[in-house]
Structure 1
Amino acid sequence: MRSGGKAAVIGGITAAVLGAAGYGAYALLDGPADGTAADGKPSVKTGPPDASEVRKATRGFLAAWGSGDPRQAAKYTDDREAAATALRAYRTEAHISDVRLDPGARRGSTVPFDVEAQISYGDRTATWTYSSELDVVRERRTGRAVVNWQPSVVHPELHAGDSLKTGEAEAPPIKAVDRNGTALTEKTHPALSGVLASLRERYGDKAGGTAGVELWIERAGDADDTAGTSPDTSAAGKKAEQPDKTLKVLSKGTPGTLRTTLDAALQTRAEKAISKHGKAAVVLSKARTGEILAVANSPAQGYNTALQGSLAPGSTMKVISSAMLIDKGLAGWGKQHPCPKYAPYGGWKFQNDKKFEIKNGTFEQSFARSCNTAFITQAEKLSDSELTKEARDVFGIGLNWQTGVPSFDGAVPVQSAAPKAASLIGQGGVRMNPLTMASVAATVRTGSFHQPYLVAPSLDKRKLAEAARPLSADTAQQLRKLMRLTATQGTAAEAMAGLGGDIGAKTGSAEVDGQKKPNGWFTAYRGDLAAAAVVPEGGHGGSSAGPVVAQLLRAGG
């Protein structure tokens, strides 16, 4: 949350004047009237609104909005109270006036429109322009054609609970720089737009700058100002957090300099690597310190999946599961281990990719080929909480990481029956993201957990998370051998080809209900670098996310 500022809440937009080209040219109406049948009973229309009804509802709504009459405008919506509150707050509390609304060409029941308004705060004024759209629906109870009220009608980036604010910015601007002092801007690194906004919120008042006057979106729940977030509250138990966003600067503040752990050159490589995918996310970090060197998402302006995603990690989870099995003596390098075509447990029937099996095989063969049933067969020997404890106590999963920006530190809930078995192969209730899976690879590489971070903890005296214990020397050695075998001869070999030195990798494919193709995962290390990537609906992790990770490990080497 931006802290310590003066502002006026804008729950919506109140318009003042419309030009002749807009809906100001139309006379205001008393509001849509209900029809009446010949017998005196109300006539309720059904079906989608026709073109005439869409035009009439849009005309009335925009005309009332443009004239500065929120109550009248709200009559043309399906939520009068919310619409009136939002539109009234815009005019009286947001210092926005002289609004012109120009509708565009109708697309079915959707009408886009352009907004041009004046913002005035103290002696500061500015013209603000943007575009939005509205949808006209039929109200089921009355049959009227009305505007489907959503916060996005006011501005396309407003969501439920968000508000617009104008005033002295609550956080001074920052000049973010990488570990070498190179400036990091949204223009040069568009994939960092959300990260930079979060850094300003959290460190703007610590970097030495002075605030200006701005119009911004304050996101819902900012008062909580929590670090751990996830869009999947059922899995993570935490609420999604998005940074505030500046929409218009009326007077510039003076930025303070904030040093991050990022590397501008590697950040550029990360953004280039994921640009080949419509949806993808990647994180690169230093294994021995936890310093985050690069973080990128595609699309650049989309959700920060790299740091805040909450996704089933598929077979990359087998790294943690293997550590637990080795610790308990249930698996080990060179030991015989079953990998049948099928393995039933808890009423579910599990199988391997293309139903392969390894007869009389060893555990390393099962790991390198990513055999699911090799793990499912061990579920009956495990208590419900053992995987949760291993993930938390050794790999730091779920320890409320303090990275310096909003992040989700994974979830491995205690489960029983079939979901317990599914968790062993990264399904069930397990949730991760590239940040957590890069950390898992780093823990294997170094033998102990080092909490990832983007800003040095010395800046704000925050305490980094600490795991209860390191990997045992024997378990760490076996895991490194397993991941190296996978990187050189197993499912990760194609992606890691040509990479020398101390390497290790694990692939993953996570099934998701409703998707034709699974999410592709890949986590790996090379020397002191650890990385992980996910490509939603990418299919096999080795061919989708693998090349992304390999490019960064190659560039960093």
Structure 2
Amino acid sequence: MSRPRLRRTLSALATLAVASTTLTGCFEESSPHDALRDFLVGWQTGDYELAARRTDGDEAAVRKTLSDVKLELDAASFRFKIKNVTLNGDEAKADFRAEVDLGENSPLWGYDGVLPLHLVDGLWKVRWSPSVIHPQLKEGQRFAVDPEAIPRQPINDRNGDSLQSPQVLYVAGVVPSQLGAQAEEVVQRLAQITGFPHDRLLNRIRSSPPNRMVPLAHFGRTRYLVLKDRLAQIEQLTVQPQPQPLAPKEPKDLVGKVSAITPEDEQKLGGPQRAGDSIGQSGLQKAYQDYLTGSTQTKVVILDAKTGKDVAVLKEWPGRANQSVKTTIDSAVQQAADQAVEQSRTSALVAVDKATGEIRAVATSGMNQEKDALAGKFPAGTTFSIIATDALVKGNVSPKLRLACPAERTVGGARFVEAGQAAGVSEPAPTLTENFARGCVTALASLARLVDAGALAQSAKAFGIGQSWQLPLKSFSGSVGELGSDADKAKAIAGESVQMSPLSMALVAAAVGSGTWRPPVLVTDPKSPDPTGEIAPAPTPQPVPLDPKVRATLTAMMQAGAKGSPAQAGRGQVYGVSAAAGDESSRQRWFVGWQGDLAIAVLAKNYNPAAIAGDFFGALRDQG
């Protein structure tokens, strides 16, 4: 028994004492109250023998009818309340309210009924007929619950095109009327093969319209191929392939995987799931599961017991409407990003719209798009000098300041080494802009003495580092280490104590390119992964405008940083900066910049990230 069903059943049992008191209080001793009490309490508790004894019908037939009704509705519980009782000689009538818990995460069904009573040999009894159960039920008729699964909705790109392609699920089911006495055997064998609870499968069959296919289990291709031969041995079982748009397109890790419901999923989710019989396992498919699946549309109907045809619809619940999820991904930009990273063994590229912060593409090679590109924590290297320059220029440090770029330098006791720089070089000292463009760590680290720790921390915050932005997937906004000493500040400017994700670094480039830092956006509709609205979203950081003077300086410096690099070669004006980060064993390289409307960050190992950036911009140009 699932937890929701158990709780509902216990709740129903807890009302018995109240129900008995209510019924008893309706009459004096010489009244039909005993018949009313015993019949309804017996029906409610499943003591059908007690209920049958208080009717004038054939006791065996009454017992079977009441038992069948519970099965036909797959009811977790019945609860009753007497509304009014009238007495007229040896005749009586009781109006009651019934509440039926249909279980399986379905709604409660309430209806009004009438219990006619009369004296039989001096004893009050319920005058038996099918209308005692429901006013519209007649001889030769039965109840059924008719659920209709609403197909899973897609995850779309910003233009409304699906980010999934067809994937076949295999649906195993039966037609109840074709099973006859073999229903128990068929269900037992299917339960042994699949692991789904025997009683739940059987109840689903018994409560469904007899002439319609009843889906009992869904399988993905891999699991179906494993079970195919065993399933084929159950002659009454039909397996139908059902293509659904479930296979993720790029960015696959962000879109996420979908699988058929398993017995473990049913237990975890608190009961059988009928809404599409699929569950998001990762990415946006998991984050927006309740939106994408919605809930099952359910009807309670009366059927002709012989033909199985509908006679009446007693109640209908449309279910919670499901909806697609609209992302900010641009499939054309994503294609260019995928093409650009193909040439490298280990890399990640994140592209954002510089004016909005909307994520247009996330592509990786040998890395995970969510765990690494959005939520990865990597040393920033001298790309952090973008943020440091904000604080330096505000402190009136000129970009024309000349700083030597020695092979080694110690700042506040911290030692820095410029890879590839020969010792004792006597060339004229480069300007700050030139050192920024080439990423000279020894020159940039020396700036620690010219900047206040508070100003450096404030600039980091203004560029979103450490901010609690809200994305439906895991992400990392960056972190800066201690800034108390000159050594600490030097390590930060050199990016040694700063960790950034490719996403957070792309947003830094977007801030310079647009003049305003903005938090990232991945999904535009719905606004929150919580369809109930019970979980209030955390406040989103507000946009932070850059100082116009700082932006002009950084734009010129990043123009110099990209000049002559593979990021720009023959592809129009590109702004950016390259940097190495990490120790020798985990050396990685960055390119951070923008062209046109798109700002990007590329992180690569054993490959030039500027070359990946150049291929990306080139692919976009070739698309027209």
TM-score, reference length from structure 1: 0.55
Is 1:265 aligned to 2:332, yes or no? yes
Query: Matches of residues 113-132 of structure 1 in structure 2 within 5 Å?
Result: 118-121=194-197, 122-123=200-201, 124-125=216-217
1:519 and 1:432 map into 2 onto residues whose CA distance is 13
For residues 438-477 of structure 1, the aligned pairs below 5 Å read 438-456=506-524, 459-460=527-528, 462=537, 465-466=540-541, 469-477=544-552
> Contact (CA 8 Å) 2:519, 2:540: kept in 1 or not?
yes
1:499 corresponds to which residue?
571
Matched-pair contact (CA < 8 Å) for 1:404–1:453: no
CA distance in 2, matches of 1:476, 1:302: 30
> How far 1:390 moved relative to its partner?
0.8
Distance of aligned partners of 1:208 and 1:130 in 2 relative to their CA distance in 1, 3 Å threshold: closer
Aligned to 1:483: 558
**CA 255–547 in structure 1, closer or farther in 2 if over 3 Å, else same:** farther
How far apart, CA to CA, are the structure 1 residues paired with 2:562 and 2:434?
Answer: 13
Aligned residue number for residue 437 of structure 2? 368
Gap change, CA 1:301 and 1:354, over 3 Å in 2:
closer
Report the alpha carbon displacement of residue 310 of structure 1 after superposing the two structures with TM. 0.5
Which sections of structure 2, spanning at least 5 residues, go unmatched? Answer: 7-187, 202-215, 224-243, 258-279, 298-319, 529-535
- Take 1:193 and 1:538, find their aligned partners in 2: how far apart are those partners? 28
Q: What are the ranges of 5 or more consecutive residues in structure 1 without an aligned counterpart?
A: 9-96, 100-115, 132-174, 176-182, 213-252
Q: Which SS does the other structure have where 2:248 is aligned?
A: coil
Larger Rg: 2
Partner of 2:284: 199
Q: 1:467 to 1:312 in 2, by over 3 A?
A: farther
Query: Which of residues 402, 407, 429 in structure 1 aligns to 2:475?
Result: 407
One-letter code of the match for 2:433? Answer: E
Which residue of structure 1 lines up, in the alignment, with residue 456 of structure 2? 387
Residue 452 of structure 1, CA deviation: 1.2
- 3-state SS, counterpart of residue 328 of structure 2: coil
SS in structure 2 opposite 1:304? Answer: helix
| Structure 1 residues 268 and 456: CA distance shift in structure 2, 3 A | same
Q: SS of the residue aligned with 2:378?
A: coil
Instruction: Give the secondary-structure state (helix, strand or coil) at the position aligned to 1:505.
Output: strand
**Which among 596, 601, 608 is matched to residue 532 of structure 1?**
601
Distance 1:424 1:452 in 2: 24
- Asked whether the 8 Å contact 1:395–1:467 carries over to 2, the reply is no
| 8 A Cα contact 2:519 2:543, kept in partner | no
1:377 counterpart = 2:446: yes
**Structure 1 residues 540 and 353: alpha-carbon distance in aligned structure 2, compared to 1, 3 A threshold:** farther
Higher strand share: 2
Q: Is the 8 A contact 2:290 2:322 kept in 1?
A: no
- Alignment match, 2:374: 307
Alignment check: 8 A CA contact 2:251 2:369 kept: no
The 3-state SS of whatever aligns with 1:256 is coil
Distance 1:331 1:538, change over 3 A: farther
SS at 1:336's partner residue?
Answer: coil
State percent identity of aligned pairs.
27
Aligned to 1:318: 385
Work out which of the residue numbers 456, 466, 469 in structure 2 matches 1:398. 466
Q: Distance in 2 between matches of 1:495 and 1:6?
A: 58
State whether residues 315 and 508 of structure 1, in contact with CA within 8 Å, keep that contact through their aligned partners in structure 2.
Answer: yes
* 1:435 lines up with 2:503 in the alignment: yes
- Which of 574, 580, 605 does residue 509 from structure 1 map onto? 580
- Matched with 1:345 is 411
Q: What displacement does 1:463 show?
A: 6.3
Q: Which position in structure 2 is the counterpart of 1:89?
A: none
Shift of 1:451: 1.0
Secondary structure of the structure 2 residue equivalent to 1:523 = strand
Which amino acid letter does the alignment assign opposite residue 287 of structure 2? R
Question: Match of 2:432, as an amino acid?
Answer: F
Check the 8 A contact 2:509/2:592 in 1, yes or no: yes
Q: Does the 8 Å contact 1:274/1:282 carry over to 2?
A: yes
Which digits, 9 at most, give the CA deviation of each residue in 1:145-201, with x for residues without a partner? xxxxxxxxxxxxxxxxxxxxxxxxxxxxxx9xxxxxxx8951565354549833233
Distance 1:6 1:514, change over 3 A: farther
Cα distance in 2 for partners of 1:305, 1:342 equals: 32
CA-to-aligned-CA distance 1:273-308 (integer Å, 9 cap, x gap): 222223221111110111111112223767631101
The Cα of 1:553 is off from its aligned counterpart by: 5.8
Aligned counterpart, 2:210: none
Amino acid at match of 1:354: G
Q: Give the deviation of 1:383 after TM superposition.
A: 3.7
Q: How far apart are the structure 1 equivalents of 2:488 and 2:322?
A: 50
Give deviations 1:222-271, integer Å, cap 9, x for gaps: xxxxxxxxxxxxxxxxxxxxxxxxxxxxxxx9963111111112212222
1-structure distance, mates of 2:248, 2:411: 49
In the alignment, which of 375, 382, 402 is matched to residue 336 of structure 1?
402
Structure 2 Cα separation of the partners of residues 302 and 117 of structure 1? 36
Contact 1:118 1:126 in 2 (8 A): no
Decide whether aligned partners of structure 1 residues 367 and 555 sit closer, same or farther in structure 2, where only a CA change above 3 A counts.
Answer: farther
| Residue pair 1:433, 1:534 contacting (<8 A) in 2 also | no
Return the alpha-carbon distance in structure 1 between the equivalents of residues 391 and 447 of structure 2.
Answer: 11
Q: Report if aligned partners of 1:191, 1:297 keep a CA contact under 8 Å in 2.
A: no
- C-alpha deviations, 1:428-473, integer Å up to 9, x for none? 2x11111011101000011111111101277238466435842211
Confirm or deny: 8 A CA contact 1:533 1:548 kept in the other structure.
no
Distance, in Å, in 1 between the alignment partners of 2:408 and 2:369 is 39
Root-mean-square deviation (Å) = 3.6
Query: 1:346 offset after TM fit, Å?
Result: 3.0
Pairwise mapping of residues 141-180 of structure 1 onto structure 2 (< 5 A)? Answer: none
Using the TM superposition, name which of 304-313 and 275-284 deviates more.
275-284
The one-character-per-residue Cα deviations of 1:310-368 (angstroms, maximum 9, x if unpaired) are 00121222211122211112232x33334333321132321223125652322211112
Provide the rounded CA distance (Å) in 1 between the counterparts of 2:557 and 2:283.
38
TM-score in terms of structure 2 length: 0.50
Q: Which moved more, 1:415-424 or 1:297-306?
A: 297-306
* Letter paired with 1:499: R
